């Protein structure tokens, strides 16, 4: 019985590998991009690219484990949700009110340590923010308002 369950589970794991996520980044206009428009200092630019752009832009980089279901489905879900909430690649298309609201949210999320998501920094230790990086990002974001 036990052996049968193990074999069945193994089969399920093999079969779900055929359900791959779409890893093609949609095309976007560089002139709509947040970094292009706001031109932050190198430090802040690096933070945004390293810690936020994988989920909040159309410039997502997909590491090897995004080939492995069901982890890949879970990651893709975060990327879709992140882009829905705030897509830096479409910044120029936001209304002024939405832009200001998102800037507020960035400050809040980073202050509270909610972003970058901990499930992300668990695999991407380079995306973890030091206190200095947080302060730099927060102060710069506030200066845009
Ligand atoms: C692993 C993917 C991921 C990364 C990396 C990530 N985010 Fe998010 N972000 C999400 C998801 C998913 C949501 C929506 C759900 C939630 O709020 O938890 C979100 C929500 C947000 C929101 C809220 C938008 C709103 O209006 O409510 C802001 C602001 C935000 N993220 C900023 C950032 C910043 C800044 C970084 C980098 C320092 C970052 N995120 C890194 C996935 C991510």
Q: Is residue 45 part of a domain?
A: yes
Which among 91, 93, 81, 141 is positioned nearest to 117, based on CA atoms?
81
Residue 31 has pLDDT above 90, yes or no: yes
Does ligand 1 come within 6 angstroms of the Cβ of 66? no
The reply to whether 49 falls in a domain is: yes
Convert the pLDDT of each residue in 13-28 to its tens digit: 999 999 999 999 999 9
Confirm whether 97 is domain-assigned.
Answer: yes
Nearest ligand 1 atom to the CA of 101 is 26
**Peptide bond before residue 54 is cis, with ω within 30 degrees of 0:** no
The pLDDT of residue 145: 87
The tally of domains found in the chain comes to 1
Range of 66's domain?
A: 21-143
Atom of ligand 1 nearest to the CA of 121: 5
**Nearest-angstrom CA–CA distance, 110 and 115:** 5
pTM for the model stands at 0.95
Instruction: Establish whether residue 33 lines the binding site of ligand 1, counting it when its CB lies within 6 angstroms of any ligand atom.
Output: no
For ligand 1, mutation pick of 21, 35, 44, 55 (most atoms within 8 Å of CB)? 55
**Position 64 pLDDT exceeds 90:** yes
96-130 exposure pattern, b = at least 16 Cβ within 10 A, e = fewer: eeebeebbeebbebbeeeebbeeebeeebeebebe
Per 3-state DSSP, the chain is made up of helix, strand and coil in percentages (nearest 5) of: 65, 0, 35
Q: Name, in order, each residue with C-beta under 8 angstroms of 67's C-beta and a sequence gap of 6 or more.
A: 20
Q: Please indicate, yes or no, if residue 4 is contained in any of the structural domains.
A: no
The pLDDT tens digits for 71-128 are 999 999 999 999 999 999 999 999 999 999 999 999 999 999 999 999 999 999 999 9
Whose tokens are 């492995």? That residue is 68
Say yes or no: CB of residue 55 within 6 Å of ligand 1.
Answer: yes
């Amino acid at each position: 019985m036990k052996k049968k369950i193990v074999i069945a589970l193994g089969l399920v794991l093999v079969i779900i590998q055929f359900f791959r996520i779409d890893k093609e980044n949609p095309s976007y206009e560089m002139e709509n991009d947040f970094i292009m428009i706001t031109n932050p200092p190198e430090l802040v630019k690096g933070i945004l690219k390293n810690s936020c752009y994988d989920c909040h832009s159309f410039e997502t980089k997909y590491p090897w484990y995004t080939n492995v279901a069901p982890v890949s489905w879970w990651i893709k879900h975060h990327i879709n949700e992140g882009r829905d909430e705030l897509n830096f690649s479409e910044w120029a298309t936001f209304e002024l009110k939405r832009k200001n609201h998102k800037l507020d949210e960035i400050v809040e999320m980073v202050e509270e340590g909610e972003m970058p998501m901990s499930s992300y920094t668990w695999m991407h230790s380079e995306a973890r923010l030091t206190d200095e990086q947080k302060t730099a990002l927060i102060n710069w974001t506030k200066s845009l308002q």
